[in-house]
Amino acid sequence: MKKLLYSFVILLTFASFVQAQWIPIDSVRRQDANGVSLLLGQTVSVRGVVTTGGELGVPTVYFQVPTAGLVAYDAVFGAAVHRGDSVQVTGVVTNYNGLTELQPVSAYQILATGVTTPVPIVVNTNAIRVNGENYEGRLIRINNITSVRSTSTYQPVTVWTVSGSGTNYRIFDGVDSCDIRIYGTSNIANTNIPAYPFSIVALNSQFKSGSPYFGGYQIIPRDLNDIIVTSGGPSISATPVESNITRNSVTLTFNTVSAGDTKVKYFVSDSLYQPVVFTDSVYDAAQVTAHTVNLTNLRPGKIYYALVSSTNGTGTSSVVKYFSTASPVGSTGAWEVYFNFAVDTSVALPNNKAKGNTNFLTRLGQRIDSAVSSIDLAIYSFNDLTVLKEKLINAFIRGVKIRVVYDYRDGTVQALMQELINAGIRVQIRPSSTYIMHDKFFVFDGRDTSLHSKKWLWGGSANITYDQFTTDAQNVILVQDESLCNAYTREFEEMWGSHNDVNNPTLAKFGSAKSDNTPHIFNINGKRWEVYFGPTDNCSGKFINLLNNEPNKSINFCIYSFTMFTIANKMKAKYSPPTLMVRGVFDQSNSTNTLYQEMKGIGGSSPWNPPAKVWLENFSGLLHDKYTVIDADLMTSNPVVETGSFNYTNAADQGNDENMMFIYDSLIANQYYQDFVKRITDAGGSVDIKRTSFNVPDNFNISQNYPNPFNPSTQFKLSVSKSSDIKVLIFDVLGRQVASLVNNRLEPGEYLLNWNASSYPSGVYFYQLNADGRNLNVKKMVLKK
């Protein structure tokens, strides 16, 4: 009997021991570089409080502790538990489209019922979009929702219309936006969206179809009780926008959901580290929803911090806004654009030939030698170019203050960067992360308060290495503008961690830890420039908005890495050949890229039809350019260039330190277009039409095509004697129009047209020139395949 009793005690002890072998949810959430749990495939036991009650379908159960959440997917477990149950769950760690789950569940135990569920953590949409992994599986709350829009059209919606298992929408809170999914099993489905502003309590989930599993975060409200109608002020619907920028004045405009007064308090923000002490304010008591404030008597070339607010009977709404005045007298706004490969100057505007085959080493060395006071550089890669290392050290010796922000690079420091450190130059290295410090900019003399004409920004696509300067195709832009240098210095100092010569690693911020704290819109010699820094400024969203508003004739890009379908889909929505063309050159490494194959019309789940005019570069180095030039072939439009360090990838958007600028200048756009025409021509494509001469011909004419017969491409010479609306149309033998090569207003001159008929059958075709509605030349050509 004693032996039996002893055995029973041993069994109880063993059972208690087994039950005690649970691990924290936080341990399951630890991930590798691809966003996959380090415990993938292992059977674990965890504990938490259930936050769902069948609203998402019985198999899906979210449960959490205050610091972390997890999902179990199991029909038996899902049917047995309810909100507020404290549970211990045993199951296999799996990855479902980025969402860490226990599936299947092999055992569970309800430890208690009626437990108070965890309090939702209050975040904004930017935190979900940029840093959603920190909140996966947890209850969150987003306040001050100001807009709900369709994810396909970006148009506002008024009903949570749901089809199938669920529908995604985009919610905005005046800071940023993120995806929200309404499940078909929830009682929210097909109900009205409440009046703005309102708040949402939701589960933070993820759906990312491929590795690495970062991004794709979406919040999931469980039922109507999670939609919280709130009050408290007029609710500012979006960040105020600056306009009418001069040296001494700026206009701020913003809208509120309901009427309220207008107040702006502001002061000169010399650094990120000074206390908030307002020195000036403007007030208007009128109760309005459209607010306009003119700020005057400002100082030139300064960053201002403003608190913008509106008050009515329900309370006060406010947002922080940074803006900049135009640069002071002495800051010239001069710019220089360089390409290290040959360009096609046949498409240059008069006296605007781009500088191709530029020796970047020489030009950057000259800028370093010219520095008087300071050099700040944020650079991903710095190696091989010993002469630049020596120039930086010599500048440091002669008294130039040099600060460097540099990528972690898997724990290694490149040899020449180490030599800078050994020479006494201070370097702030980005801490280890999945993401990288990918900036590529220098600010020369940006910290001197008096040398207005010496402040230069160097930016573009090139890292500071031999291959990047010599064998890889690159673009570089230099700008002499104080206000622009101030913004890049502000971004630099957030990563540097201080406003002085000594970096402070405890205050240095990278990736999603940074804030949106720089001006974005600048007036440089009467031209609009915009600057955004990733990931906090939603660079991809700003670029998509640019694509949505600007193109009238063409979107032309040269990009090293392009995998972001949100950008490609916006290009696809705008693509309407021949009226609005999409053309691009990819690096060879994109040959198996699904996005490239879809744009080319040769693969993927949704190939473009007709395909875009995209090609792979065919030289030995990388096509490392990062730019898009819009409407450079339509000077009557508003040509604009997007450039910087930003690849069109999820990593660039979600965690890397990046920079992106939009330049609304027809001359700069034309210089980038000269490079683009050469890149696409060398890759085997064409831009369909380009001006070959500014000489004014006597008459309108289109030449006989050459070659003729042809397969599959042929060319035409077009003469335009005066500014006219020109059409060049192609017809088959039945008189049906099959193509339009030109449908645009052209200035006097000589032009070269290309027609690629690879998608047309062999046969006889006719082409016709029409000028200002008058049909002129008609000629015949033969396509033989």
Query: Average pLDDT, stretch 199-212?
Result: 92
Of 191 and 373, more confident: 373
- Nearest alpha carbon to residue 561 among 478, 652, 458: 652
For the ranges 250-254, 330-334, 393-397, 449-453, the lowest mean pLDDT is seen at 449-453
Q: Which amino acid is at 78?
A: G
Range 442-471 average pLDDT:
95
- Number of helices (H) and strands (E), helices first, in the chain? 14, 41
Lowest average pLDDT, out of 97-101, 232-236, 547-551, 622-626, goes to 232-236
* Dihedral pair phi/psi, residue 654, rounded to 5°: -105, -25
CB atoms within 10 A of CB 109: 13
Query: What confidence category does residue 514 fall into, taking pLDDT thresholds of 50, 70 and 90?
Result: confident
Q: Is the pLDDT of residue 751 over 80?
A: yes
Residues 68-95: what's their mean pLDDT?
93
Three-state SS for 182-216 is EECCCCCCCCECCCCCEEEEEEEEECCCCCCCCCC
- pLDDT attached to residue 140: 93
Contact 266, 295 (CB under 8 A): yes
* Alpha-carbon distance values, 469 to 168, 277, 626, 631, 653 (Å): 44, 46, 14, 28, 25
Matching residue, tokens 């040269």: 558
Q: Of 332, 336, 304, 305, whose CA–CA distance to 318 is shortest?
A: 305
Among residues 426, 431, 430, which one has the least CA distance to residue 374? Answer: 426
**Is 470's pLDDT higher than 60?**
yes
Query: Is a pLDDT exceeding 90 seen at residue 772?
Result: yes
Please list the residues that pair with 139 across neighbouring strands: 203
Mean pLDDT of 588-598: 94
pLDDT at residue 156, rounded to an integer = 86
- The end-to-end CA distance of the chain, in Å, is 98
**Residues contacting 91, CB < 8 A, separation 6+:** 43, 44, 72, 74, 102, 103, 104, 105, 106
**Overall residue count recorded for the chain in this entry:** 785
Asked whether the predicted pLDDT for residue 605 surpasses 50, the reply is yes
| The predicted structure's pLDDT at residue 230 | 63
Tokens of 494: 């957030």
User: Residue 31 and residue 54: Cα distance in Å, rounded?
Assistant: 28
Summary mean pLDDT of the chain? 91
- CA–CA separation, 665 vs 779, rounded Å? 39
Percent of the chain with pLDDT over 90: 66
Give whole-number Cα distances, 404 to 91, 414, 607, 655, in Å: 48, 13, 44, 20
Report the percentage of the chain scoring pLDDT > 70: 97
Rounded CA-CA distance 172/179 in Å is: 9
Q: pLDDT confidence of 231, banded at 50, 70, 90?
A: low
The answer on pLDDT for 121 being more than 50 is yes
d(CA 658, CA 533): 6
pLDDT digits (tens, 9 = 90+) for 145-191: 888 999 887 788 989 999 888 999 999 987 789 999 999 888 898 88
Average confidence (pLDDT) over 109-133: 87
pLDDT in tens, 524-576: 999 999 999 998 888 988 999 899 888 988 999 999 999 998 899 999 999 98
Specify the pLDDT at position 54. 79
Residues 6+ apart with CB under 8 A from 589: 560, 561, 622
DSSP designation for 52 = -
Per-residue pLDDT tens over the stretch 637-652: 889 999 999 999 988 9
Q: What's the alpha-carbon Rg for the chain, to the nearest Å?
A: 30
State how far Cα 493 lies from the chain centre.
21
pLDDT at 393 over 50: yes
Residue 575: predicted pLDDT: 93
Q: What is the mean pLDDT of residues 756-760?
A: 82
Contacts of 225 by beta carbon, 8 Å cutoff, 6+ apart: 201
What burial letters (b/e) apply to 376-394, b meaning 16+ CB within 10 Å? bbbbbbbbbbeebbebbbe
The β-bridge partners of 763 are: 783
Amino acid at 404: V
pLDDT at residue 135 is higher than 80: yes
- Counting other chains too, the contacts that 734-740 makes at CB distance below 8 Å and 24 or more residues apart are 738/765, 739/578, 740/578, 740/579
Exposed, middle or buried: residue 735 (CB in 10 Å: 0-12, 13-18, 19+)?
A: exposed
Using a 10 angstrom Cβ sphere, with 0-12 exposed, 13-18 middle and 19 or more buried, the burial of residue 296 is exposed
Helix, strand and coil percent figures for the chain, each rounded to 5:
20, 40, 40
Q: Which amino acid is at 101?
A: E
Is the four-CA dihedral 698, 701, 707, 708 of positive or negative sign? Answer: negative
Q: How confident is the model at residue 6 (pLDDT cuts 50, 70, 90)?
A: very low
